[in-house]
Amino acid sequence: MILKYDKPEKTRIDSYLSEVLEDMSRSHIQKKIREGAITVFGKPVKSGFLLSQGDEIALPEEEEPEPMEAEPEDIPLDIVYEDQDVIVINKPKGMVVHPAAGHATGTLVNALLYHCGSSLSGINGILRPGIVHRIDKDTTGLLMVCKNDAAHTALSEQLAVHSITRRYLALVRGNIRQEEGTVDLPIARSDKDRKKMAVASPGKGRRAVTHFRVLEHFRDAALLECRLETGRTHQIRVHMAHIGHPLFGDPVYGIKKDPYIGEGQFLHAAVLGFRHPSTGEYMEFTAPLPEYFSRMLEKLRNN
């Protein structure tokens, strides 16, 4: 994959790649740079190399797949679309996307391994086969998964240039005065709690941009449509909490003693659109709100 750096200001290559390659950690990028797998105009560089406008960065097309270790599990999937390259899933509340500490089983990956067998891309390794992007455990909605490495590379390139359509429905607290707006604030791991993300001070963190518009006002609440320009960990939750409108039911960034914690995190990936990795055709999918979310909206409308 070739990326062309088009910004007028100079930027460290590891910082730039960690911004545009949303599913790759900065440490992993630095490892690839050290190995010489990432080059500028065909020459290896160091992590601190300063990119200039017009520089062409070559990234490895694919990484050697590691042997699968996550176990297949017969878990029902809500499949919105499937072909030989991609599968689009409507993920339910409470399902973790891939195995991690404390969640070795019952994940979307376990279900996908049962459904797809070995037909999943191996680029992201043994615990994240096919996974191009993630949504939180208690966020519901649409997720795209790749069945081969070529599809994975193509969709990763679309993520890198922010051409994937991702629109979420979010139920937030408070009366929002503006009908639409943009939160453009960097996000990094919190200094106070390493399990949380937070808006970072200027010059730190990774750029994060969330566009929002109000779909419906309630008494001291609002239903928003949030469009992601970037896809940082917990981005919508962190941004909305930072501007004083945390999500209903959010146990990490929400209000203290939120009575709806446990009912669900009121964030739903409602629309997902991308160009098909083989045909180039633009495809867009929608997923209806889960029942608990719809019930809450009816309750607010009747108040």
CATH code of the domain covering residue 241: 3.30.2350.10
**Mean pLDDT, rounded, for 145-171:** 93
Strand partners, 117: none
Q: Single out the residue in 58, 87, 105 at which a domain terminates.
A: 58
Reported as a single tens digit per residue, the pLDDT across 44-97 is 999 999 999 899 999 876 544 444 368 899 999 999 999 999 999 999 999 999
- Are 186 and 204 contained in the same domain? yes
The domain in which residue 34 lies consists of 2-58
- Are 116 and 204 contained in the same domain? no
Q: How confident is the model at residue 279 (pLDDT cuts 50, 70, 90)?
A: very high
- Are 127 and 213 contained in the same domain? no
Strand partners, 144: 88
**Mean pLDDT, rounded, for 163-169:** 96
| φ, ψ (nearest 5 deg) of residue 18 | -70, -25
For position 139, what pLDDT does the model report? 95
User: What pTM did the predictor assign?
Assistant: 0.78
30 Cβ partners below 8 Å, 6+ apart? 14, 47
Catalytic residues: 136
